[in-house]
């Protein structure tokens, strides 16, 4: 007999919101905080909002479904890490490389599986 799972199914709309909501908040705040005199202002404020939003998304995910997906953990670590560097140095290039780092990480995982002969 199997023990009941602690994980509850996440409603589709909520799952979509948890995955893409923080990114949408980043773009919105980036756009609203845009400055003609300081081109880094929008991305810096957007990054701060992104860091807060992804933490909120993780809390909501744990609360509503009982778990936090691996993809959300990876994204959160990169957003907080690269976002922190972005905010500390005042240079938006670090948060801008986040998608590249994510894709390289997943490519390495897939390639490692290919070398081992496992999916």
Asked if residue 78 lies in contact with residue 18, where contact means CB atoms within 8 angstroms, the answer is: no
pLDDT tens per residue across span 48-77: 999 999 999 999 999 988 999 988 998 999
Residue 55 CA to residue 74 CA, distance in Å, equals 12
- For 6, other C-beta atoms within 10 Å of its C-beta total 8
What whole-number distance in Å separates Cα of residue 70 and Cα of residue 28?
A: 26
Asked if residues 33 and 42 have their Cβ atoms less than 8 Å apart, the reply is yes
- Comparing 12-16, 37-41, 47-51, 64-68, the range with the smallest average pLDDT is 12-16
**86 Cα distance to chain centroid:** 15
């Amino acid at each position: 007999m199997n023990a009941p799972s602690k994980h509850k199914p996440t409603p589709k709309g909520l799952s979509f919101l948890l995955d893409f909501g923080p990114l949408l908040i980043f773009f919105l705040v980036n756009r609203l905080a845009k400055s003609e005199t300081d081109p880094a202002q929008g991305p810096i404020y957007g990054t701060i909002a992104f860091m807060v939003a992804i933490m909120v998304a993780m809390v909501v995910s744990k609360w509503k479904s009982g778990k936090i997906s691996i993809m959300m953990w990876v994204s959160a670590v990169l957003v907080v890490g690269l976002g922190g560097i972005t905010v500390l140095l005042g240079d938006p290039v670090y948060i801008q490389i986040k998608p590249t780092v994510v894709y390289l990480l997943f490519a390495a995982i897939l390639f490692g599986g290919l070398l081992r002969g496992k999916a």
